[in-house]
Structures are given as structure tokens and as C-alpha cells.
Amino acid sequence: MTHPSAGNPPSGGLPNRPHASAGVSDPSQLTLEQIQEYVWSRYVNHDAPAAALDEDQALEFFEAHYATRPMATDADCYYYGILAFERSFANPAQQGPLLERALEAFRAYRHQASTDSAWEAVEDRYEEILSVLGIAPEAAL
């Protein structure tokens, strides 16, 4: 298995990311692209995001987004998984449900990604979820 750099998902190179924008002042104006840019900057590249946003509102946005479309058909569903994974450690009372959501997103992404490569931004988090939830790797899929 090859391991692309943390910043390059194996399924299609860099995601379509918008140019840096100002902070999100009105949560009702939050967009998928703003959330993806934020998650990419903060949790994949480990940089300071260009725009600040409320991560709990971003999770709510993703939940509404995936309530109307299946993750299995969205190659970018890993953004949801990464954010849910990271928020699970900031909110211990919701850790189990957030890790379950992240696991669902990562499984959907992994089914769509090339089988001959692994992307550490997803795989490392996926393996940690399995460990925290006590799921054996062979039972994971």
C-alpha cells in the first residue's frame, strides 16, 4: 500500500477548494466550501484556517447535508469524518456518537477510494476509531 502525503487524497488529488475568505459572521450563511476549506486547513494541513467557524454548527451543516444525499456517492465525505472525529475529543459526552458518524464517513470514503493506496489523514483516524470503539480491524468493513 502506498501512502500519499497528508495533503493529497488518493482519489483525485487536491480537492476543489475556494480561495481564502473572511471569517463566517453569519452561521446561516455557512457553505460546504467554507467548511471544507476550514477542515482542510486545520485538520489536514495543520495550519491556521483562513476563516474561523463554529465547528458544532459545521457538524450540524454536514448532518443536514448528508440527510439528503448518501455519503456513498460523495467522494468528499471524508471532510465530515475528519471533523466528527476531531470534535469527538472536544466533547466527551458525544464522543461515541461522533466517532460512529466519523466511522460511517470514512467507510464510505474508503469504498470509493482506490484500493491500492491509503491516505493517512483518513487511515490514521479510522484506525484510532476502531481502537477507541473496540472494533476488530477484520470486522471493520
Q: Looking at the domain assignment, is residue 11 inside a domain?
A: no
Q: How many domains does the chain have?
A: 1
Q: What is the pTM of this model?
A: 0.80
Q: Looking at the domain assignment, is residue 3 inside a domain?
A: no
Task: Answer for the pair 67, 111: CB distance below 8 angstroms, yes or no.
Answer: no
Q: Is 90 exceeded by the pLDDT of residue 17?
A: no
Integer Rg of the chain from CA: 15
Q: Looking at the domain assignment, is residue 7 inside a domain?
A: no
Please count the other Cβ atoms lying within 10 Å of the Cβ belonging to residue 75: 15
Query: Which helix (H) or strand (E) covers residue 60, if one does?
Result: helix 55-67
Q: Which residue range(s) make up the domain with 102? A: 31-139
Q: Is 60 exceeded by the pLDDT of residue 4?
A: no
Instruction: State the average pLDDT over residues 79-100.
Output: 96
Higher pLDDT, 117 or 17: 117
